[in-house]
Every structure is written in structure tokens, then in C-alpha cells.
Structure 1
Amino acid sequence: MRRIRIVWTGKTKEGFLAEGIEKYLRVLRRFVKIEVTELKEERINEPERAKKREGEKILRNTKDFILLTERGRLMTSEEFSEYLFSYDEPVFVIGGPYGVSAEVESSARDRVSLSPMTLTHEMTRLVLLEQLYRAITIKKGMRYHH
């Protein structure tokens, strides 16, 4: 795997999450090139309009992507490691606070769930990064996983 790209909407506002995200980006970069594209969040109190506008930005910036959604496929960490390494340059998309538009959902190459429970979009960032790190350590036989 040459590179991992992650596209998300909005800045991480929660300090403890921002710290965790930075930590995992740092450790991941020891193993793989990782690129985060942060798209501007729409400040509209109309969820459907916000999702539509954010979705247009996602689709302009991203092709052939894996959507993170609670409606996606659930995997164990070992299965996710195999899945991750089946890609040369995986691209993950995390929607904004209202989720993603139907257009983004239907354009995704695949859908993956990190939990059947709903996570905030900011928490999803941290959980994804930790699972990416775990997947790499599983593949490399490192002691992090168990």
C-alpha cells in the first residue's frame, strides 16, 4: 500500500479528539504516506441542503472512495486489515455532522462501518485512524493488536 487518503468535512473542534487524531496521524506516517483533505463544513441549519452542498464538494474532490457509514459492512480488525491491504491507495470519506447526501452514498465504491452505533463525524475520524494503525500493525505482526 503506497498511500491512504482521507476526506472529511469540517475542522475537529473537540480538543481531546484533535489530540488523538494528531497522535495517530503521526504514528501512521511512520508506515505509510497519509493525506487528509479537510473540506469546508456548510453552516446551514437545513440538514438536506448542507448534505447536498458538502456532497458536491466531496464528489468534486474524490473519485473511487470508501464511505464510512453505520450502514456499511462490519468487519473485525483482522478482516479490516486484509481489506485495507487489498487496496494500493485507499480513499476513505467521512461525512459532516448530518452525514452525506444520497449522491455521495450511491457514488461510493464500498461502504464500511466502524460500529453499528452512530458515532459523531469527529469521533469517526479518530476511530478510523486508530483502526488504520491497528490494521498496519496486524499486517506487520507487531504487538499492538494483542
Structure 2
Amino acid sequence: MYKLRIICPGRTKAKFIKDGINHYTKLLTPYAKVELIELKEGHGKADKVIEEESKQILNSVKGNFILLHREGQKLDSLEFARLIKDKATHEFVIGGVYGVSEEVIKSAYFKLSLSYLTFTHEISRLLLLEQLYRAMTIIHGKSYHY
């Protein structure tokens, strides 16, 4: 059984995204324990928000983590499944509205980009969970990924 921790500032506000998160969290249940950690959202100017949220992120991670970042490596679903296959516990960090500090970027053991496109931090949560479910079905030989 895998353990997947997703750490991100702010609550998921949009109902359709919450519904999607709940859907994929439920689908992941046979394969993984999913923990979504929603940190306090920073307030004020961008620099202050990045500093506040990054401090919380670094205090919340328990070990090596994968950072979702626009300049990260782009993987297809099979490559992503191979990345997470051999380690039982994974932590993923999704930055807030303004991103994360250089310290968070440097602390990540792997930087992952979901796409060349830019997504909101809320949509990124849902996309990550869908890709985690897809990876689990690939790892376990189930029919979801074609």
C-alpha cells in the first residue's frame, strides 16, 4: 500500500474540483492512503505570501518531496508510474497562487511539470490525483490507461 501526501497552501474552493478530488481519492483507496494537507493561505504582497507559504511547506514535508513546478520535467504517464513505483511513500508539493520560494525549489528531489500549460493550484491538485490513479493502474496492471 502506497502512502501519498499532497501538500498545498489554501483550501480547494470550487465544488467541481472538490468533487473530482474526492472521486480520485476514492478510486485510489485500493492502492494508496491519500492525505491532502491544505496549509494556511498567505495574505499580502506576493513576496510575503511566497515566504509565508514556503515556510509552512518546508515545516510540513517529512522527507524527500516532488515539487510540481512549471520548469519541472515533463513525463508521460508510463514514466510517471516508473518514478513512483519503487518507493512506498511519496510527498508532492503544489505551490500557491504566487508559487514557492527558491529554498523550496532547491529542496525538492524532483521537479515535475504537469504540462506546458499553466494551471491554477486548485486544478493542479485534481490533475495530480488523476495521474496518481493512472500510475497506480499502470503499476498494478489494471485497465484504465490505454
TM-score by length of 1: 0.95
Shift, 1:136, TM fit: 0.5
Taking the aligned partners of 2:50 and 2:87, their CA distance within structure 1 comes to 28
Identity %: 43
Shift, 1:30, TM fit: 2.2
1:78 aligned partner: 78
Give the residue type in structure 1 aligned to 2:129.
Answer: L
- Dislocated runs of 4+, deviation >3 Å: none
Shift, 1:126, TM fit: 0.3
Shift, 1:139, TM fit: 1.1
After superposition, the CA RMSD in angstroms is: 1.1
Give runs of aligned pairs for residues 21-32 of structure 1, distance below 5 A: 21-32=21-32
Q: Deviations over 1:94-134 (max 9, x none)?
A: 01111111111111111011111111100100000000000
Taking the aligned partners of 2:36 and 2:11, their CA distance within structure 1 comes to 11
SS in 2 for 1:125: helix
Give runs of aligned pairs for residues 1-146 of structure 1, distance below 5 A: 2-44=2-44, 46-62=45-61, 63-146=63-146
Give the residue type in structure 2 aligned to 1:80.
Answer: F
Give the residue type in structure 1 aligned to 2:141.
Answer: G
Structure 1 unaligned residues grouped into runs of 5+: none
Shift, 1:141, TM fit: 1.4
Taking the aligned partners of 1:101 and 1:37, their CA distance within structure 2 comes to 19
